[in-house]
Amino acid sequence: MTTLKIGNKAPVFKGLCTGKGDADLSKLKGKKVVLYFYPKDSTPGCTTEGQNFRDLHKEFMKEKVVIFGLSRESLKSHENFKTNQSFPFDLISDPEEKICKLYDVIKEKSMYGRKYMGIERSTFLIDEKGKLAHEWRKVKVKGHAQEVLDAVKSLN
C-alpha cells in the first residue's frame, strides 16, 4: 500500500489499455492526467461516470488533460464498454490490481450483507510534473466530472 500525499510524486503506473495498447504515466510528463477508478464496466453508476467524463472531454482537452478510466475488468470488456458508450478516452485494465494497490483504492465493501474487496470509486489529478495535485475518495458520481474539470482549471 502506498501513502499518497498531495504535492508528492504520483505513483508511476503502466498498464494495458484500450486503443493504444498501454498507458504509461512516465511518458505523459508535460500533460495533466486524470485517473479515475471505477468498480465495473457497464453498471449504472460506472456508465454514468464515464458518460460525464465523455461529455466534458472537449473541455478537458482544452486544458491539455489525458483521461484514463481504470477497473479490474478485462481488456475485452473495456473495449466493448468504450465502444458502446463512445468514450473518447482509454480504459486501463488492472485485473491483478497492481495500479489499484499503488493508489490504495482496494477497500472492503459490503453488498447484501456480504463483505468483499473491491474498488472504491476514486479519482486522481496528476499535474504536468507528475505530482499528485488532487484526489477524490468515495466519489459520488453526480457532478464529479465537473468538479474534476474545475480543479484542473484551478491549476492554471
Q: Which residues are annotated as catalytic?
A: 46
Return the HEC string of the chain: CCCCCCCCECCCCEEEECCCEEEEHHHCCCCEEEEEECCCCCCHHHHHHHHHHHHCHHHHHHCCEEEEEEECCCHHHHHHHHHHHCCCCEEEECCCCHHHHHCCCEEEEEECCEEEEEECCEEEEECCCCEEEEEECCCCCCCHHHHHHHHHHHHC
